[in-house]
Amino acid sequence: CYVVSFFLLCLLCVLSSLVDLTTACPPTCFCNATDVDCSGRGLLSMPALTHLPVSARTLLLPNNHLSSLGSFANLTSLERLDLSNNYLDNLPPALFKDLGNLSDLTLHNNSLRALDRDLFQGLVGLRKLDVSLNGLSDIPLGLLDELQGLTWLSVAGNRLHALERAAFEPLANLQSLQLGANPWECDCNLRDFKHWMEWLLYRGERLKDGVECTLPKDLRGRDIRGVPVEMFNYCLQLDDENRGGGGPRSGGKEGSSPPCGRTTGPGAPTSESEVPAAGDLVPVPDCVRRRYQPVSVRRAIGTVVIAGVVCGIVCIMMVGAAAYGCIYASLMAKYQRELKKRQPLMGDGEGDADPEDKQISSVA
DSSP states of 170-239? T-TT--EEE--SS-EE-SGGGHHHHHHHHHHHHTT-EESS--BEEESGGGTT-BGGGS-GGGGHHHHHHH
Q: 3-state secondary structure string, 122-144?
A: CCCCCCEEECCCCCCCCCCCCCC
Distance, CA of 125 to CA of 239 (rounded, Å): 38
pLDDT for residue 239: 63
**8 A C-beta contact, residue 322 and residue 329:** no
Q: For residue range 294-343, list pLDDT tens digits in order.
A: 444 445 567 788 889 999 999 999 999 999 999 999 988 888 888 888 77
Separation of CA 205 from chain center: 10
Encoded amino acid at 147, one letter: L
Distance, CA of 167 to CA of 189 (rounded, Å): 13
Residue 125 CB contacts under 8 Å (≥ 6 apart), including other chains? 100, 101, 102, 103, 149
- Which of the residue ranges 212-216, 225-229, 239-243 would you say has the lowest mean pLDDT? 239-243
Which residue would you say has higher pLDDT here, 92 or 339?
92
Percent helix, strand, coil in the chain (nearest 5)? Answer: 40, 10, 50
Distance, CA of 190 to CA of 168 (rounded, Å): 13
Distance, CA of 131 to CA of 279 (rounded, Å): 41
pLDDT for residue 16: 44
Taking Cα atoms as reference points, which of 67, 184, 167 lies closest to residue 117? 167
Q: How far apart are the first and last CA of the chain?
A: 161
pLDDT for residue 200: 79
Distance, CA of 117 to CA of 143 (rounded, Å): 4
Among 11-25, 151-165, 193-207, the range with the most confident prediction by mean pLDDT is: 151-165
Distance, CA of 235 to CA of 238 (rounded, Å): 5
Distance, CA of 146 to CA of 96 (rounded, Å): 12
pLDDT for residue 250: 40
- The 8-class DSSP code of residue 280 comes to P
Q: For residue range 186-219, list pLDDT tens digits in order.
A: 888 888 888 888 887 777 666 666 788 998 888 8
Mean pLDDT throughout 166-185?
92
Which residue would you say has higher pLDDT here, 17 or 55?
55
pLDDT for residue 101: 96
Three-class SS state of 154: strand
Encoded amino acid at 254, one letter: E
91 pLDDT band (50/70/90 cuts)? very high
Neighbours of 94 (CB within 10 A): 13
Neighbours of 82 (CB within 10 A): 21
Given a cut of 90, is residue 168 above it in pLDDT?
A: yes
- What is the Cα Rg of the chain in Å? 39
Cα 97 to Cα 7, 106, 146, 169, 291: the distances in Å are 42, 16, 11, 22, 30
For residue 104, list its beta bridge partners.
Answer: 80, 128
Among 31-40, 194-203, 275-284, 330-339, the range with the most confident prediction by mean pLDDT is: 31-40
| Average pLDDT value over all residues in the chain | 78
Mean pLDDT throughout 348-361?
52
Omega before 216 cis (within 30°)?
Answer: yes
**8 A C-beta contact, residue 217 and residue 186:** no
Distance, CA of 81 to CA of 101 (rounded, Å): 11
Mean pLDDT throughout 101-125?
96
